[in-house]
Amino acid sequence: MLNIIWGIMVVLGIVVALVRIMLPGGPEVAELTDAFFKSASLSVEIIIGLMGMMCLWMGISSIVEQSGLANKLAKLLTPLFKVIMPEIPAGHKAVSDITMNLSANMLGLDNAATPLGLKAMRSLEELNPHPGTATNSEIMFLVINTSAVTIFPISIILYRTKFGAACPTDIFLPILITTTISTLAGFLAVAFCQKINLLKLPLFVAFGLLFAVAAGISVWAVYAGDTLASQATGFSNVLIMAFVAAVVLWGMIKKVPVFAAFISGAKEGIKVSFDILPYLVAMLSAIAVFKASGIMGLLISAIKSVCAFFGLRGDFAEAVPVGLMNPLSGSGGRALMLDVFETYGPDSLAGHIASLMQGSTETTFYVIAVYFGAVGITKVRHAIGCGLFADFAAMMAAIFVGLMFFG
C-alpha cells in the first residue's frame, strides 16, 4: 500500500503542477524542482537533529533495561497488552518501551517521544516472524502513537501567546477532547481490522484511568487560567529531569555500570538514525512535490463550494488545510496554522479550529516513514488506513468542538 500511495503522490503532484505551470499566473517549474531537491537536504538536517536526541534517550533506555525497571513495568502492564497486543509475550521489554513512548507523547515531550518510540518499534520487530511486513502489534502501536492523547499542547499555547491571543490557553480543554476522540477512533479502527475483543476488564480499567486523568487535568486547566502554559512547561521539565535522575540512581543501586550502559544505548541510537534516512528521503520528496503542486488550494476551494451549496457555515474552511497538511508534514501544518493566525487572528473561529487541528492531527506519513523505516518494514498493511482514519476523526472533532466552544 505504501508503494501505491508514494507513487500516486509523486505522479499526481507532478502532473497537477505541470498543468498549473502551463496556465496563466501558474507557478514556475523551478518551484517544483527546488521543493523536490530541497527535501533531500531537509531529510539529512532532520536526521542530524534527531541523532543527538536518539543517542541521549536510547542511552537512558539502556540503563532502564539493564537495571530491571523495564521488566517491572512490563509485568505491571501485561494484562492490558495481552488484550490489545496479544503477540507480545508476558513481561517482554516492548511493553515498557511502548509505555514510556506514549507517556512522553501525552506530556508533550516530543524530543523524548521519537527516540523512545523507535526503541519500542525495534523491540516489537524482534518478535516479527515476517521481517518487512508490519505485525498487528506494530500497527496498533503506530496508530495509537500517531493519535495519542495530548495533555499539554505547550507549543500551540506559546504560538497563540506570540500572536496576541486574548486567552492563549482557551484551546487546552478542546484539544484534550479532540485528541481523546482521535485516539479512540484510531484504536477502534485497528481493533476492527484485527478483530480484537473489546469487552475485557483491562480495557475498561485503562480507559477509566485515561478519562480520570483527563478530568483531573481539565480541573487544573480551569484553576490555572492564563498561567497554564508556564505551569505545564515547568511540570514537564521537572518530570523529565526527575525521571532521568531516578533511572540513573536506580541503576547505581542495582550496581549497573551506568556510564557503559548509556554508551551502549547511544551507539545503537546512531545506527537507528542512519537506518531511517533512506525512508525519510523517499517520503519527504513525495510530500514536497504534493505540497508544491497546489492540490491543497484546490481542496480548500472545493470544501468552500460544498459548504456554500448546502448552505453551511464555511468560515472554518480556512483552517482545514492545517488538518490536511499535518499528516504529510508537521512543519507544513504548523506554518499554515501560523498563516491563519496572521491573516484572521488567533481568536477568530479559523484561528481556534486551526489550533485544534494542529494539536489533534499527526504527521502520519512521517511517523510511518521513520518508525517503519527504522526496522525495514515496507508492507504496512492497514497502518496507513487506520492512521488516516484517526486523523480524519481528529479533523471532524476539531471542527465540531471548535464550533461548539468558539462558534
Residue 77, C-alpha cell as written in the block: 502492564
Q: Residue 286's pLDDT band (boundaries 50, 70, 90)?
A: confident
pLDDT at 358 over 80: yes
pTM (two decimals): 0.72
Q: Residue 315's pLDDT band (boundaries 50, 70, 90)?
A: low
Give buried/exposed letters for 250-263 (b at 16+ CB in 10 A, else e).
bbeeeebebeebbe
Instruction: Name the percent of the chain lying above pLDDT 70.
Output: 86
Between CA 307 and CA 353 the distance in angstroms is 16
Amino acid letter, residue 98: I
Calculated CA dihedral for residues 138, 142, 144, 146, nearest 10 degrees:
180
Residue 355, C-alpha cell as written in the block: 489550533
pLDDT of res. 135: 92
Which whole-number Å values give the CA distances from 196 to 3, 142, 203, 233, 404, in the listed order? Answer: 28, 16, 11, 37, 33
pLDDT of res. 2: 63
More confident residue, 262 or 175: 262
Residue 182, C-alpha cell as written in the block: 482521535
Q: Mean of the pLDDT values across residues 103-123?
A: 73
pLDDT at 370 over 90: no
Between CA 354 and CA 361 the distance in angstroms is 11
More confident residue, 102 or 190: 190
pLDDT digits (tens, 9 = 90+) for 67-91: 887 677 667 777 877 888 888 887 7
Amino acid letter, residue 186: G
Between CA 407 and CA 403 the distance in angstroms is 4
Burial, 219: exposed, middle or buried (Cβ in 10 Å; 0-12, 13-18, 19+)? exposed
Domain positions in the chain: 33-406
CA 67 to chain centre: 29
Between CA 15 and CA 69 the distance in angstroms is 53
Q: Mean of the pLDDT values across residues 96-122?
A: 74
Are the C-beta atoms of 169 and 157 separated by less than 8 Å?
A: yes
Q: Of the ranges 178-187, 274-283, 285-294, 320-329, which is most confident?
A: 178-187
pLDDT of res. 259: 93
Q: Of the ranges 231-240, 343-352, 361-370, which is most confident?
A: 343-352
Between CA 195 and CA 192 the distance in angstroms is 5
Are the C-beta atoms of 375 and 281 separated by less than 8 Å?
A: no
Which of 56, 52, 48, 122 is CA-nearest to residue 265?
Answer: 56
Between CA 301 and CA 315 the distance in angstroms is 12
User: Mean pLDDT, the chain, as a whole number?
Assistant: 80
- Supply angle C-alpha 164, 236, 239, rounded to 5: 165
Partners of residue 379 on adjacent β-strands: 133
Query: Which residue is it, cell 487544573?
Result: 220
CA 234 to chain centre: 22
Q: Of the ranges 145-159, 282-296, 339-353, which is most confident?
A: 339-353
**Number of neighbours of residue 15 by Cβ within 10 angstroms:** 11
Which whole-number Å values give the CA distances from 308 to 203, 244, 262, 304, in the listed order? Answer: 43, 54, 59, 6
Alpha helix stretches (DSSP H) within 165-200 = 172-194
pLDDT of res. 149: 66
Q: Mean of the pLDDT values across residues 117-144?
A: 88
Between CA 254 and CA 245 the distance in angstroms is 14
Q: H-helix or E-strand containing 40?
A: helix 29-67
Amino acid letter, residue 311: G
Between CA 85 and CA 2 the distance in angstroms is 23
Between CA 202 and CA 190 the distance in angstroms is 17
pLDDT at 109 over 60: no
CA 193 to chain centre: 21
pLDDT digits (tens, 9 = 90+) for 26-68: 667 777 788 888 888 877 887 787 788 778 877 887 888 788 8
Instruction: Name the percent of the chain lying above pLDDT 90.
Output: 6
Are the C-beta atoms of 318 and 353 separated by less than 8 Å?
A: no
pLDDT digits (tens, 9 = 90+) for 203-221: 888 778 777 876 777 777 6
pLDDT of res. 260: 92
